[in-house]
A and B are shown apart, each in its own frame.
Chain A
Amino acid sequence: MELNKSQLLRFTTAGSVDDGKSTLIGRLLYDSKSLFEDQLEAVTTTSKQKGLDGVDLALFTDGLKDEREQGITIDVAYRYFTTPKRKFIIADTPGHIQYTRNMVTGASTANAAIILIDARHGVIEQTKRHAFIASLLNIPHVIVCVNKMDLVDFREDTYQSIVNQFEAFASKMLIPDIRFIPISALLGDNVVNRSEHMKWYMGAPLLHTLETLHISSDINKVDARFPVQTVLRPQSEGYLDYRAYAGRIAGGIFRKGDEITVLPSGFTSRIKGIEGPDGPLEEAFAPMSISISLEDDIDVSRGDMIVRSNNQPKATQDLEVMLCWLNNSPAKPRAKYTILHTSNQQKAVIKEVIHKIDIQSLNRNPDDKELSMNEICKARIRTTKPLMIDSYRENRTTGSVILVDDMTNETVAAGMIV
């Protein structure tokens, strides 16, 4: 692998064992030779104990004790494989409605989502829900795999009608890039290797598609945003007056000499120096972890944001968000939560649930105001002090928040700023 060029692609797979999700992941790992002999042996032994003829690829994704006993995925599991072109991180999430929160979690960092459709059943409610979550979480690329093509005799017309069904409802969603691939995860058709059974399919197999998706533009490189994590003040010999602001660039590009504004104070200055992991840099871009020093001695601390003076985020105490509730105990009306946004933290209150999304039908319901686990709504939140925000569509880092319940310290909700 060429280390200097090879990029990292994170993708999520939502689905249940019935859709062949585990088999698909097992197939990707197996055919790309990402499994080790001892893993293979363990699974071969278990397959034999279960009285199966071949190797049950789904066993490769077995997780915790309870999950093995119940034969389901409960939580997000992360898996890794590498090809000569790219390194991949799979967020393997359960697909049932009661695990919506886990799907949302897995989707939050993904460049791409794989949506599995059983060719025998076509587009079902679950498919629409998965596409909706991909759209809600602004996943840039969606790959729809029509699986189990072997069970419909590899027929092109079956595949095409599913593609048409999907396109019909997905046109209402905000998904910038959708691709379709007919596959059989069980037999390996169009997963890593091109199918011998579906000569009519002219596109690339799944792995090749994943290897060549254009992902460099997935991160906003236009609006420069630098949330300050911490201040570096060595106060040691040679560095007596040194003061730099450490953080990870959340958007855009910063250059030495740039005129910047520190928010919320509004003080302006110029970038004196940028320090990267390997020393001084002329410029740096998202998502690099760097430190910035300024020409002027101004007060900057954690929670502040350094931005270019001519391109600023919105400072506001009133947020409109798409909120996904993640906790067992439902949202408490008028209750205060701690809101975390980049490195900033404030108190917040949910002022109003505008409408709830019925995640079965995807219809809006303006009358239902209760918000319990796995439910998604549009809501208004008021914070004690202004947050420096962009919309989630423009920037997934400066456009996202989580809510923490002060009574339990648990993360109870995830919000995408509208």
Chain B
Amino acid sequence: MSKYYLNYLDELESEAIYVIREVWAQFQNPVILFSGGKDSIVLTHLAKKAFHPCKIPFSLMHVDTGHNFPETIEFRDNLISALGVSLIVGSVQESIDQGRVAEERGKNATRNALQITTLLDAIEEHKVDCAIGGGRRDEEKARAKERFFSHRDDFGQWDPKNQRPELWNIFNGKCFEGEHFRVFPISNWTEMDVWNYILRENIKIPSLYFAHEREVVWRNDSWIPKSEYLIIEENEAVEVKKIRFRTLGDITITGGIESEADTLSKIVEEVSALRQTERGNRTDDKRSETAMEDRKKQGYF
């Protein structure tokens, strides 16, 4: 006799597909925010399943800081051509050149916060009314309060104290012109769920997630990859280590961990034994207790 209940990964998958289809049904011009990280890759995989045998009926939007891992860009371009969807790139470099934002200075300078302006400009320019993101509630305490359908005012801002109540699986995506929504179909997934799902579905991810040798600098308790954008201080030594990345952001702020995990199943095994949160290696979150909440209010992912 067959069983009539879903296991938890199937239930999460079903929920995410439902949310993605709901976006397509409720909005005129949605996009998937694609960073090249595992969460946005899983999101894209789910979107493919949601509309099979149709193509994904919306574009992918990448906010390009200019400080990328070359591997990420190559992965992105291959995926785009395999899916046959179009790509919108919002360039932080262009925002800087146009004087929309100013580069941070100093050794720990990053382009992380600058992305907010570029993202909001791209959303406005392309008349996007819904940006689908791979944010998860387990990532960070401000994200724990996020809705599936999260309203943004006409300045792109999030008002955490005044969010629309979200009951059952009824989503209210109504908004006025100039406003938009951020939708998070994998809200209820944890890092472990994402990895288990990648393993189960055998989803292709960038080589950066697998253990590899790389030139790195020890800074803020993690291994920061050497790159042309990194200012190396005199007292810092460049070493070669076998590392892998748990999350992918800007090359300047994404720290790696020492690891031997070079296959998906080894990664899953490693993640289940890890005792640090994945964003623990992200210097963007370490700036203050409320770093994420502050950025999200302004319009961050």
Which residues of chain B from 157 to 215 have any CB-CB distance to chain A below 8 Å in the complex?
160-161, 163-170, 172, 174-176, 187-188, 190, 192-193, 196, 200
Give the number of A-B contacts (CB < 8 Å).
Answer: 173
B277, A39: Cβ atoms closer than 8 Å: yes
Binding site secondary structure of chain B: loop
Residue from A82, A221, A239, A288 within 8 A of B192 (CB atoms): A82
Question: Inside 8 A of A102's CB, which chain B residues have their CB?
Answer: 165
**Is the C-beta of B137 less than 8 angstroms from some C-beta in chain A?**
yes
Contact A400 B167 (CB under 8 A): yes
Residues of B with C-beta under 8 A to A277: 10, 13-14, 17, 49
The proximity string for A residues 3-16 relative to B, scoring 1 for CB distances below 8 Å and 0 otherwise, is 11111100000000
Docked-complex contact B188 and A64, CB < 8 angstroms: no
B-facing mask of A84-102, CB < 8 A → 1, else 0? 0011010000000000011
Alpha-carbon separation in the docked complex, A396 to B169 (Å): 10
- A105 near B167: Cβ-Cβ < 8 Å: yes
Q: Could you tell me if A288 and B172 are in contact, using CB atoms closer than 8 angstroms?
A: no
Question: What is the predominant secondary structure among interface residues of chain A facing chain B?
Answer: mixed
Task: Flag if A288 contacts B14 (CB, 8 Å).
Answer: yes
Within 8 A of A (CB), among B261-286: 274-277, 280
B interface residues, Cβ below 8 angstroms from A = 2-15, 17-18, 21-22, 24-25, 49-55, 137-138, 141-142, 144-145, 160-161, 163-170, 172, 174-176, 187-188, 190, 192-193, 196, 200, 274-277, 280, 289-290, 293
Q: Tell me which residues from 189 to 237 in chain A have a Cβ below 8 Å from any Cβ of chain B.
A: 215-216, 221, 229-230, 232-234, 236
Query: CB of A367 within 8 A of chain B?
Result: no
Closest A residue to B3 by CB, please name it. Answer: A216
Report chain B residues within 8 Å CB of A221.
4
Q: Quick one: which of A38, A62, A80, A215 contacts B141, CB cutoff 8 A?
A: A62
In the complex, are the beta carbons of B188 and A89 less than 8 A apart?
yes
Whether A87 pairs with B293 at a CB distance below 8 angstroms is: no
Top 4 A-B residue pairs of the complex, sorted by shortest distance between their CB atoms: A8-B8, A289-B17, A409-B174, A216-B5
CB distance B172 to A75 under 8 Å? no
Closest-CB distance, B266 to chain A (whole angstroms)? 17
Asked whether A387 is an interface residue with its Cβ less than 8 Å from the other chain, the reply is no
- Contacts A78-B188, A229-B22 hold; do A248 and B14 have CB atoms under 8 A apart? yes
User: A239: which of B21, B53, B163 is its contact (CB, 8 Å)?
Assistant: B53
A246 contacts chain B at the CB level, 8 A cutoff: yes
Point out the residues of chain B lying under 8 angstroms from A230, CB to CB: 21, 24-25
Complex alpha-carbon distance, A288 and B190, angstroms: 20
* Identity of the chain B residue whose Cβ is nearest the Cβ of A10 in the assembled complex: B188
Where the two chains meet, the residues of A that have a C-beta atom closer than 8 Å to any C-beta of B are 3-8, 36-39, 62-66, 68, 74-80, 82, 86-87, 89, 101-102, 104-105, 108-109, 215-216, 221, 229-230, 232-234, 236, 238-239, 242, 246-248, 253, 275, 277, 283, 285, 287-289, 302, 326, 338, 340-343, 396-397, 400-402, 404, 409-411, 414
Q: Which residue in A37, A104, A326 is a CB contact (below 8 Å) of B276?
A: A37
Q: Besides A87-B8, A289-B50, 19 other CB < 8 A contacts?
A: A5-B7, A38-B277, A62-B141, A77-B145, A86-B8, A104-B165, A105-B167, A108-B167, A232-B52, A234-B53, A234-B54, A236-B55, A248-B14, A288-B6, A302-B25, A402-B167, A409-B174, A414-B165, A414-B167
Can you name the residue of chain A whose Cβ is closest to the Cβ of B22?
Answer: A229
Checking A80, A109, A246 against B50 with a beta-carbon cut-off of 8 angstroms, the contacting residue is A246
Q: Is the CB of B6 within 8 A of A80?
A: no
